[in-house]
Amino acid sequence: MMNIIRTFINQSLISLAVLSISAVFVQPSTAETIAVTRRYPKLIYNNAFELWKTYNQERQQGDDGKGFLAAYLADKYLLGQGQDGWKRVQQTYQKSDRLQYFADLRKFLRETGYTK
């Protein structure tokens, strides 16, 4: 599950960088990537909005959408809105594996520098 979370967050950061920022990130999800990305809050906000929208579309089609939620939450942390992001994710994701998913997500966010 950690690889799925990592993949979606990396793809989210890469998309944000490639489409919106004229920068090249060799290794997404590094401290440098996070530090540079935080300089573009409007782009991060727009990305988070799109991730949330995509999550809801995927959920309607039967997908659990975990990767989209993880990427959304990473964006919320980049915006300094981590608590709000967690509240929304916890209210929304109600599947039976939620406790394990949340534990894995917390670990991932900590290991990749989104949280302390």
Which structural domain range is residue 29 located in?
Answer: 2-111
Domain membership flag for residue 101: yes
What pLDDT does 73 receive?
93
Question: Which DSSP category does 29 fall into?
Answer: T
Say yes or no to pLDDT of 35 above 90.
Answer: no
Domain membership flag for residue 72: yes
Domain count, the chain: 1
Q: State pLDDT tens for residues 9-23.
A: 666 555 544 433 333
What pLDDT does 95 receive?
93
pTM: 0.71
Q: Which residue has the higher pLDDT, 70 or 1?
A: 70
Q: State pLDDT tens for residues 48-75.
A: 999 999 999 989 998 888 988 998 999 9
> Alpha carbon 97 to chain centroid distance?
19
Say yes or no to pLDDT of 112 above 90.
Answer: no
CA angle 90, 91, 93 (to 5 degrees): 65
Nearest to 113 by CA among 38, 39, 48, 52: 38
Domain membership flag for residue 116: no
With tokens 């997404």, the residue in question is 28
Yes or no: say if 58 and 71 are a contact pair by the CB < 8 Å rule. no
Domain membership flag for residue 54: yes
Yes or no: say if 47 and 78 are a contact pair by the CB < 8 Å rule. no
Nearest to 72 by CA among 116, 1, 9: 9
Domain membership flag for residue 39: yes
Say yes or no to pLDDT of 96 above 80.
Answer: yes
Mean pLDDT across the chain: 78
Question: Residue 36, class by beta-carbon neighbours within 10 Å (0-12 exposed, 13-18 middle, 19+ buried)?
Answer: middle
